[in-house]
Amino acid sequence: MILEAGYAGVAAAAGFMAYAVRGRGACVLAPSVWRGPRTKKRIALTFDDGPSESTGELLDLLDTAGARCTFFQIGRHVERLGEITAEAVRRGHEIGNHTYSHSPLYLRPRQFIEDEIALCQDAIERAAGSRPLLFRAPYGCRWFGLREAQRRHGLMGVMWTAIGQDWREDASSVHRRMKSAARPGAILCLHDGRELTPKPDIRDTIEAVRRLLPELRGQGYDLVTVSDLLCPTSAAS
């Protein structure tokens, strides 16, 4: 009986830790949001792992639909393709911090987490002229020390309502998943890069977005940045 109770306690602790690390609504290790208010027909499209050589094509698609979105960018890519980061800002999009090297943060020391965030903040500021206010952890995994790092850098964590799995599925599957997740206040996660891969193939992502944008517009949704979704009166300019 005692042994069984011990096993149950260990299982409960493991389940709680898994939720704290990866749960979209968890704020145990750091504050974060996973959706916005449901009172208006607004959706925030977000793109992780860029900038990449194909981000420009995505920017053109977003322009055509009158959409503004949030790009969570990797510092090493920003150092390589800073002109794309700057162009995204010029077109009215928002840039978020996705760490410097996209290394998982879980099981990492606090100084590693601080350095990953600080280096990315610096790279984006050099390219875009301002420091991000939003942060998304690689793979959505948080760890001890992230709360303090976010506070030092003035960052709010952002998870997602739904993720497209566009790094492994074809355009039709990604499109269906994102379309079915479209609800007022949703934060949808896609990718304009593939971790640290140079010149990544994101054709399925682009095709899924090409199909999705007119459908969301036709349903009356405004496609906005995360900041505008959360706080419309003080959206990032």
The band of 11, judged by pLDDT with boundaries at 50, 70 and 90, is low
Q: What is the domain extent for residue 108?
A: 2-231
The catalytic position among 175, 191, 204, 228 is: 191
Mean pLDDT lowest among 12-16, 61-65, 82-86:
12-16
pLDDT value at residue 30: 92
Instruction: Give the count of alpha carbons within 13 A of 46, CB side only.
Output: 30
pLDDT digits (tens, 9 = 90+) for 134-152: 999 999 989 899 999 999 9
Q: Is residue 193 part of a domain?
A: yes
46-62, pLDDT tens digit by residue? 999 999 999 999 999 99
Q: Is 228 a catalytic residue?
A: no
CA 131 to chain centre: 16
**For a pLDDT cut of 90, what percent of the chain falls above it?**
83
53 belongs to a structural domain: yes
What separation, in Å, do the N-terminal and C-terminal C-alpha atoms of the chain show?
A: 61
Question: 56 in a domain, yes or no?
Answer: yes
**Residue 237 within a domain:** no
Q: Give the tokens for residue 169.
A: 């599925």
As for how many domains the chain has, the answer is 1
Confidence of residue 234 (pLDDT cuts 50, 70, 90): very low
Does any domain span residue 143? yes
Residue 211 in domain: yes
In a domain, 236, yes or no: no
Per residue in 162-178, pLDDT tens? Answer: 999 999 999 999 999 99
**Rounded to the nearest 5°, which phi and psi values hold at 143?**
-155, 170
Nearest-Å Rg of the Cα atoms of the chain is: 18
Confidence band, pLDDT 50/70/90 cuts, at residue 85: very high
User: Mean per-residue pLDDT for 203-219?
Assistant: 98
Query: Is 115 one of the annotated active-site residues of the chain?
Result: no
Q: Are 117 and 135 in contact (CB under 8 A)?
A: yes
Residue 235 has pLDDT above 50, yes or no: no
Least confident of 24-33, 37-46, 100-109, 143-152: 24-33
16: domain CATH number is 3.20.20.370
Domain annotation covers residue 220: yes
The strand pairing partners of 71, in sequence order, are: 47, 95
Distance CA 145, CA 208 (A): 36
